[in-house]
């Protein structure tokens, strides 16, 4: 005689031993896996009848992606075609801090302007910038 199905609410997990809980989890995973496999087989059959194929891969593993999409785990490896931009501004207090004038203004630049330092005094002279390089950054 078949046992009547037990509802999940009827289970008292506090009364189960650790081993019984592990066994329950193991059986549930196996059963779920069998259901998923059966459904995938149904989808593959339907897709085959329509002249299509179904490929399944685990989330996060390499698979086919739509053109133009990037996942967080993959990096674009093509060389950067944008050219380097020469620095246009230098912090007089710390010559290693430079800025090209593009993008977000660095904090030192904003602070200097707020303190009343004229922008022209922060600008790098083209002739001297080619001769003088900032000192190397300390190792570490």
58 domain residue, yes or no: no
122 domain residue, yes or no: yes
| 28-82 per-position pLDDT tens digit | 999 999 999 999 999 999 999 999 988 888 887 665 555 555 555 566 677 777 7
| 1-38 per-position pLDDT tens digit | 567 777 888 888 888 899 999 999 999 999 999 999 99
What pLDDT was estimated at residue 80?
75
Residue 136 CB neighbours (<10 A): 7
CA pair distance 108, 122, nearest whole angstrom? 11
CB 129 within 8 A of CB 99: no
> Which structural domain range is residue 40 located in?
15-49
127 domain residue, yes or no: yes
116 domain residue, yes or no: yes
1 domain residue, yes or no: no
pTM of the predicted protein model: 0.39
38 domain residue, yes or no: yes
103 domain residue, yes or no: yes
110 domain residue, yes or no: yes
What pLDDT was estimated at residue 79?
77
What pLDDT was estimated at residue 122?
93
Which of these, 35, 41, 66, lies nearest to 56 by C-alpha position?
41
- Copy the structure tokens of residue 22: 């592990």
Residue of 132 and 136 predicted with greater confidence = 136
Report the number of distinct structural domains present in the chain: 2
Q: Decide the pairing of beta strands 89-90 and 98-99.
A: antiparallel
């Amino acid at each position: 005689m078949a046992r009547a199905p037990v509802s999940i609410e009827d289970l008292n997990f506090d009364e189960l031993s650790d081993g019984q809980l592990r066994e329950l989890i193991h059986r549930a995973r196996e059963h779920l896996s069998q259901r998923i496999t059966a459904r995938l087989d149904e989808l593959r059959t339907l897709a085959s009848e329509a002249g299509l194929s179904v490929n399944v891969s685990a989330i996060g593993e390499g698979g086919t992606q739509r053109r133009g999409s990037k996942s967080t785990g993959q990096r674009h490896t093509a060389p950067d075609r944008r050219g380097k931009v020469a620095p246009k501004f230098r912090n007089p207090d710390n010559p290693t801090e430079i800025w090209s004038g593009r993008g977000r203004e660095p904090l030192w630049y904003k602070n200097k302007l707020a303190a009343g330092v004229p922008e022209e005094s922060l600008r790098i002279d083209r002739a001297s910038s080619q001769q003088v390089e900032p000192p190397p950054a300390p190792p570490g």
